[in-house]
Structure 1
Amino acid sequence: MNAKSAVQTVIAIFLVSSLLWPVVKYISNKYSGIEPVKVSLYDESYCPACRQFVKDQLGPAWRDLHDIMQVEVVAYGWAEETPLDTGYNFTCQHGPDECTGNMILECAKEHISRQGVFIKLTVCFMSEESEPLPPPFVVARKCAHKVGAKQEWPAIKRCATSLEGEQLLHEAGVKFHSLKDPEPTWVPWILINGKQNDKAEEDLKSVVCSTYQGQPPAICPSILAKEDLPSTTLSPNDLNNQSSVV
């Protein structure tokens, strides 16, 4: 083998190794018994701080770290409900559209089996910035078609206009009010592996990277290197933006 061939062989091995390493790492993590980081988000669909978190933190974190994340979204917050002969009547902190939005998200969670598609729909729905905001069903339909849930949309819409949706939203409320030690005092309320975590609201990526026990994605070192930089994100205690108990 001449020198030129040897160089070409080395370059080829390097390129193949670079391409295969992410696959090997994914398989290693998947079958090593290492659990993904569980991110539980308790929110309201029209809460300004919740929408900011979903757009600026959850969406980018899912994009970059979905291989090591498991995400649960519970859309209820400070809603109130009144039992009826059949179903429930809901009142929400940010008005009737929020109740509808919460129910749409709970129905989407029920009828979309692919977690990634559900998360993308949630991010799309809560990132809508048109002024004034279009009706919830208009936004949700657009997002369902955009993220690959067109087939599930009819079932989601039926659910969100029926007793099924009312029951799902009621169950979301039961789950929210079951949170203890500590009880929620604002939303978004974020748990990391079952424990409330203030920092996750400001820098979800770094929390996920630092919490994960397996071989981290290649992007994690650069994320963690930025931890000491000043943050311009609002503090979880900024009650001017968050939705607190009223």
Structure 2
Amino acid sequence: MDTKSAAQTLMVLMLSASIVWPVMTYIIAKMTGAEPVKVSLYDETYCPACRQFVKEQLGPTWKELNGIMAVDIVAYGWAEETPLETGYNFTCQHGPDECTGNMILECAKAHVSHRHFVKLAICFMSEDSNPLPSPLVVGRKCAQRVGAKNNWSAIKTCATSVEGLELLHEAGVKFHSLKDPEPTWVPWILINGKQSDKAEEDLKSVICSTYEGQPPAVCPSIKAQEVQGDSPSDSETPSDSNNQSSVV
């Protein structure tokens, strides 16, 4: 086999593994009766700490462990709203683009499959162009990138209409319903309904240690660390807390 053929074979094998593994983990979860770990992320689309978490933690973890995790993302944070005769007027912590970005994600949640929504949200929050393009430009690019090109028209219409305003209001209701404890910063992360500081620093480890079924191959080393007592406790404060977007 020549070098070119070997390289092509390797690429096919890697692509096959990336497709097959999530399916296998899903099947294993069903066979063992283990529920996926529920990850609830409350964030703001232009919050620096939220974007860092999505790019460095949620994105890579989802890529490896999406077969054993269920992700919900609520984009609202410290927005403020005023009811109007039709819809709402929103003021967002990081400016008007954040309000639009939040609505794009909430509208995507309503107009694409859940899997496409999570992938689009990760893409949107991971955009690192400097300066950042407008949220509608990023949203369109991400919709095309994750296979939701045909849904972009509906998402855009939603995000620039009363429908988007209503969905963003509903996101705010969800955010403000959080109690015990109430959010004091974003990203605010719940693992199976319980707030977790550790998830912000090492989401992959938290997913692996929380999942009650047969863990994927990427998890054993993490499990071993926990047995040895090397894993930080959930009570530790995230080291990057100075970059978190808190109540102002």
**How well do the aligned residues superpose, as a CA RMSD in angstroms?**
2.2
Gaps of 5+ in 2: 1-16
Unaligned runs of 5+ in 1: 1-18
Residue 240 (1) aligns with residue 239 (2): no
1:25–1:136 CA distance, 2 compared to 1 (3 A)? closer
Partner amino acid for 1:242? Q
Structure 2 letter corresponding to 1:126: M
Once the two structures are TM-superposed, the CA of residue 40 in structure 1 deviates from its matched residue by: 0.1
Q: Mean Cα displacement is larger for which, 29-38 or 154-163?
A: 29-38
SS at match of 2:53: helix
Query: Which SS does the other structure have where 2:215 is aligned?
Result: coil
- Matching residue of 1:8: none
| Aligned counterparts of 2:142 and 2:172: Cα–Cα separation in 1 | 24
Looking at structure 2, the residues matched to 192 and 25 of structure 1 have their Cα atoms a distance apart, in angstroms, of: 19
Cα distance in 1, alignment partners of residues 175 and 107 from structure 2: 16
**Is 2:62 the counterpart of 1:53?**
no
- In structure 2, C-alpha distance between the alignment counterparts of 1:200 and 1:118, rounded to whole Å: 21
Cross-structure match for 2:109: 109
Cα shift at 1:236: 3.1
- Cα shift readout 1:153-174 (whole Å, capped 9, x = no counterpart): 1110010011110000000000
Q: CA distance change for structure 1 residues 166 and 31 in 2, over 3 Å: closer, same or farther?
A: same
**Deviation for aligned residue 1:214:** 0.5
| Residue 119 (structure 1) shift | 1.3
In the other structure, the counterpart of 1:199 is 198
Residue in 1 aligned with 2:152? 153
Equivalence for 1:178 = 177
Tell me, in whole angstroms, the C-alpha distance in 2 between the residues paired with 1:28 and 1:139: 36
Closer, same or farther: CA 178–167 of 1 in aligned 2, 3 Å: same
Look at both structures and tell me which one has the larger radius of gyration over its CA atoms: 1
Q: Is the 8 A contact 2:42 2:187 kept in 1?
A: yes
Report if the CA contact (8 A) 1:236-1:242 is conserved. Answer: no
TM normalised by structure 1 equals 0.85
Find the counterpart in structure 2 of residue 11 from structure 1.
none
Q: Distance in 2 between matches of 1:112 and 1:33?
A: 27
How many pairs does the alignment contain? 223
Which residue type is aligned with residue 214 of structure 1?
Answer: G
1:9 corresponds to: none
Secondary structure at the residue paired with 2:39? strand
> What fraction of aligned residue pairs are identical, expressed as a percent?
76
Question: Where does 1:61-210 land on structure 2 (aligned, <5 Å)?
Answer: 61-113=61-113, 115-210=114-209
